[in-house]
Chain A
């Protein structure tokens, strides 16, 4: 049996979807497990545990990351956005709406991570080309859709956003 050290749990604080949580954790607990099991935010999924499929993607301090590869201690004091943080009450985020309208979600398991990757993409690049959409979502695997309707959803959300901005201005 391996030599055991006996680390204790630590208190950390992190904001998830705008809500601050102070929790007791093992520092090497994975962020995906802490979100799902301690904070009961099960929208973030685990598909592979090796950072390949992107189902566990969240935004950490505004940056897209694979939460299965993050020890929770490294998320101390961070601002996390998960899929549960996108909709405002009954109003879906434009990307969520576009995914429903364009067939971007079939079985839905890749959808939370895929939408967050798209959120990040549109924040950096509000009017992406198809190539840029492909690259922005290149770390998120989908087995159901063959991606076409996902890209159409992102393009539609981008177009709608541009129209809304133009209407405002």
Chain B
């Protein structure tokens, strides 16, 4: 433990209102901490720059999961366990449920939050590709009020986002329009469970008469931020699924991404495996349709 607790302040206001007021009064001073599964690791390593933290882990206002006829609204303080256990999410958002289930072990799933995963903004964040695939919207709250942003615009660069000083992620909103989609989520890590991802594909698709009518490919760990592979999607959209399609899409993929060699893996491996995952998704999509 390489940090001195005597040098840190942590406040735990009882209400969201008080938290927002504090963040508004002293923006860029108070770091929100929810489940702590990222912040506390940095802290213990002596690498946490912030000295003042505000706990949002216990705020009920952030932990609600609500549904309307058109939308599922997941409080940013919802834990991965909350997400896995919610019947509507389990039914309608399989990509998110899969992501929640492969984030660390049970103890970390009990504490880690969706909002925390987004705010930590690691390109390897497990739930982020699912949110991109579902085209989620984020409700951000601050002393100035609330605003909604498209999640696909949220991350602007490595560890940089649209989150303004004094602003909190309040709710993650996902439309309830994915019932008819074929969904695919596969995380590739150094071992079967409890591993940071080397590449993570979350995909949705629809197919009609052998042609791909809709396709969304969202990927983590191949860029400074999680990304939608729009060029590769374009190479696949409205195409007949046949032998040459997958080859074409590999070519588009190679043009589109510039992954890196890092402590976990290599650029060549990531590119090749991602191509394989996309192929597996496309073949699965075609097979699903063929059998239904």
Q: Which A residues lie at the B interface, using CB under 8 A?
A: 2-5, 7, 26-30, 33, 49-52, 54, 57, 63-66, 68-71, 73-74, 76, 117, 120-121, 135-136, 138-140
Residues of chain B at interface, number, CB under 8 A: 35
Residues of A within 8 A of B104 (CB): 51, 139
Among A5, A49, A57, the residue within 8 A (CB) of B107 is A57
Kindly state the separation between the CA atoms of A76 and B14 in the bound complex, as whole angstroms.
12
B165 at the interface (CB under 8 A from A): no
Most chain A CB within a 10 A radius of its CB, from B3, B9, B12, B105? B105
Would A138 and B194 count as touching, CB distance under 8 A? yes
Q: Which B residues lie at the A interface, using CB under 8 A?
A: 1, 3, 5-12, 33, 35-37, 40-41, 43-45, 51-53, 55, 57-58, 81, 104-108, 110-111, 193-194
- Min Cβ gap A124→B in Å is 9
Would B36 and A74 count as touching, CB distance under 8 A? yes
- For residue A10, which residue of chain B has the nearest CB? B10
- Min Cβ gap A59→B in Å is 10
Among B6, B57, B108, the residue within 8 A (CB) of A7 is B6
Would A54 and B105 count as touching, CB distance under 8 A? yes
Kindly state the separation between the CA atoms of A27 and B36 in the bound complex, as whole angstroms.
13
A–B Cβ pairs within 8 angstroms, 5 of them: A26-B5, A28-B8, A51-B108, A69-B35, A71-B55
Kindly state the separation between the CA atoms of A57 and B194 in the bound complex, as whole angstroms.
15
- Please judge, given known A-B contacts A4-B7, A68-B44, A138-B193, whether A76 and B12 are in contact too, CB under 8 Å: yes
Kindly state the separation between the CA atoms of A138 and B11 in the bound complex, as whole angstroms.
32
Among A7, A29, A63, the residue within 8 A (CB) of B110 is A63
By Cβ-Cβ distance, the 5 closest A-B pairs, closest first, are A139-B105, A27-B10, A28-B8, A26-B5, A69-B40
- Min Cβ gap B131→A in Å is 23
Residues of B within 8 A of A121 (CB): 106
Residues of B within 8 A of A136 (CB): 106
Among A64, A65, A73, A139, the residue within 8 A (CB) of B10 is A73
Would A69 and B111 count as touching, CB distance under 8 A? yes
Main secondary structure of the interface of B (DSSP, over half): mixed
- Min Cβ gap A74→B in Å is 6
- Please judge, given known A-B contacts A2-B7, A73-B10, whether A50 and B41 are in contact too, CB under 8 Å: yes
- For residue B53, which residue of chain A has the nearest CB? A28
Residues of B within 8 A of A70 (CB): 36, 40, 111
Most chain B CB within a 10 A radius of its CB, from A52, A71, A73? A71
Would B110 and A64 count as touching, CB distance under 8 A? yes
Residues of B within 8 A of A63 (CB): 81, 110
Residues of B within 8 A of A120 (CB): 106
Q: A27-B9, A138-B105 are in contact. List 9 more A-B contacts (CB 8 A).
A: A28-B3, A49-B45, A65-B110, A69-B41, A70-B40, A73-B12, A74-B57, A74-B58, A117-B107
Kindly state the separation between the CA atoms of A73 and B106 in the bound complex, as whole angstroms.
22
Would B58 and A30 count as touching, CB distance under 8 A? no
Kindly state the separation between the CA atoms of A63 and B9 in the bound complex, as whole angstroms.
26
Kindly state the separation between the CA atoms of A66 and B57 in the bound complex, as whole angstroms.
15
Would B106 and A139 count as touching, CB distance under 8 A? yes
- Min Cβ gap A116→B in Å is 9
